[in-house]
Amino acid sequence: MKKILIVEDEVELANNICEILSDLDYKVSAIVDNADSALEFLEVNEVDLVLMDILIHGQLDGIDLAYQIREKYSLPIVFSTAYSGTEYLERISSEIHEGYLLKPFTLDSLKTAIFFGLKRHEEKSKKENKSRGSLKIMDKGYLVPVPFSEIVYLKADGLYTRVYTKAKSYLVRDILKGFEEKLNPEQFIRVHKSYLVNIAYIESFNAKKINLGDSSVPIRRGLYKELLEKLSV
């Protein structure tokens, strides 16, 4: 059962939300009405999501509190507020929340916001874990963890794949498709049937090839426009 912290200064509304969430099979871990109480609770308790009102008691509002929570915890935050003015919206970065609920809201809109808030955070966490991970490669009898961030590109070589990093290359007994399934698609792109490239190392490209510093790889027909969009060129 997913656990939710409610940060809301309207007592009656907070209690109503608590009842609704309980009926939806969520556990409300606590209801607080200010930033200090929220931070104190999170120091000793684990939750899966924070439902955050923007205007709360105390010196910090919900937006300031959300930034503080994100500095310490990896938690999805769904804002709830009766205000939609630009003075609030301009302060809310997409990096600090997974949803925005405008009061008064319906049962369905609350249910949807919580569901997708949890789902977006889970998907984001998976992508981040993939980006921070490493390939475990056997090299001369030793297991070498090669960080994804250090891989420049991979090249198919029959039943093997050659992994090129900034420092050296490794020959691994696995087909290129096997690596493609392990790597973050937001970070690595299949530019040719025989090449998988880390987009962070792309220095320039045209319709025929991609330059990766000291190396260059061919580009498959039709990928040029897709690559322009992916790199926001």
pLDDT per residue as tens digits for the range 178-211? 988 888 888 899 999 999 999 889 988 888 889 9
Residue keyed to tokens 């302060």? 91
Question: What's the burial of 164, exposed, middle or buried (CB within 10 Å: 0-12/13-18/19+)?
Answer: buried
Residue 54 is classified by DSSP as: S
Distance CA 91, CA 62 (A): 11
* All domains in the chain, ordered by first residue: 3-130 (3.40.50.2300), 134-230 (2.40.50.1020)
**98 — pLDDT class (breaks 50, 70, 90):** confident
Question: Range with the lowest mean pLDDT among 33-37, 110-114, 202-206?
Answer: 202-206
Q: What's the whole-number mean pLDDT along residues 128-139?
A: 73
Residue keyed to tokens 């998907």? 123
**131 — pLDDT class (breaks 50, 70, 90):** low
Write down the mean pLDDT value for the chain.
88
**109 — pLDDT class (breaks 50, 70, 90):** very high
Strand-pair category, 49-53 with 77-81: parallel
What is residue 211's predicted lDDT score, i.e. its pLDDT? 92
**pLDDT at residue 130 tops 60:** no
Question: What's the burial of 24, exposed, middle or buried (CB within 10 Å: 0-12/13-18/19+)?
Answer: middle
What is residue 24's predicted lDDT score, i.e. its pLDDT? 94
**pLDDT at residue 124 tops 80:** no
Residue 211 contacts residue 199 (beta carbons within 8 Å): no
Question: Range with the lowest mean pLDDT among 8-12, 115-119, 150-154, 227-231?
Answer: 227-231
**pLDDT at residue 129 tops 60:** no
Distance CA 102, CA 142 (A): 56
DSSP per-residue string spanning 17-46: HHHHHHHTT-EEEEEESBHHHHHHHHHH--
**pLDDT at residue 134 tops 60:** yes
Distances (CA, A) of 232 to 23, 48, 123, 225, 227: 44, 33, 22, 10, 8
